[in-house]
Amino acid sequence: GEQREKILAGNLLGDKEVIGIVDKLLDSIPDEEGIILDGFPRTIPQAEWMLSQSKSGRFKLNLAINLVATNEAVKARLIKRARIDDNEDAIEKRFAEYEHSTMPLVRWLDSNGVKVYDINAEQPIEIVNQQIISTFKENNIN
C-alpha cells in the first residue's frame, strides 16, 4: 500500500511508523534471546526511543556497528542487485537522507554512551562478516 509506494520512491518511513514496527517486533521476541537490529535506528528520534527503552530495562543495548563505504561503492552495489527501487533518483534521495539523518546519528550514539564500531564495508563480504563476528566476540556477545 502507501508504505510500499513511499519506499519504492526512495523515501524512508517516518520515525513513528518505524518505531511502531520495531516496538511490535520486540514484543514478539523472548527475553533471553539476543537480537541484531539491521538498519535501525536510522535517525536520532529513533535512537532516542531505543535508548529510553534500554534505560527502562526492556533490553540491554550492547553496541552499534557502522558499515562505512563511499557513495560510489554503495551505488555500484545497489545497481548490481537490480531492485525496482534502486534507480538513480531513489538512490540519490537515499544518500541525501543518509547524510542528513544517519551521519549525525553515529556521533549522537557515541556521545550518548553507545559504543560504535566502524567497519570498512568496501572489503569482501567474508571479511566484513568476520570483522562483525570478531566485534561481537570482543564484547562477549555470542
Average pLDDT in the chain: 91
**For residue 8, what pLDDT is reported?**
64
**For residue 130, what pLDDT is reported?**
98
Assess whether pLDDT exceeds 70 at residue 59.
yes
**H/E run at residue 77:** helix 71-81
Assess whether pLDDT exceeds 70 at residue 10.
no
In angstroms, the CA 100 to CA 67 distance is 17
Assess whether pLDDT exceeds 80 at residue 1.
no
Of the pLDDT bands very low, low, confident and very high (cuts 50, 70, 90), residue 95 is very high
In angstroms, the CA 50 to CA 109 distance is 11
Q: Hey, what's the cell of 39?
A: 538498519
**For residue 107, what pLDDT is reported?**
94
Report which of residues 13 and 116 the model is more confident about. 116
Q: Hey, what's the cell of 45?
A: 528520534
Q: How far is residue 61 from each of residues 1, 48, 77, 94, measured CA to CA in Å?
A: 33, 12, 30, 27
CB 134 within 8 A of CB 82: no
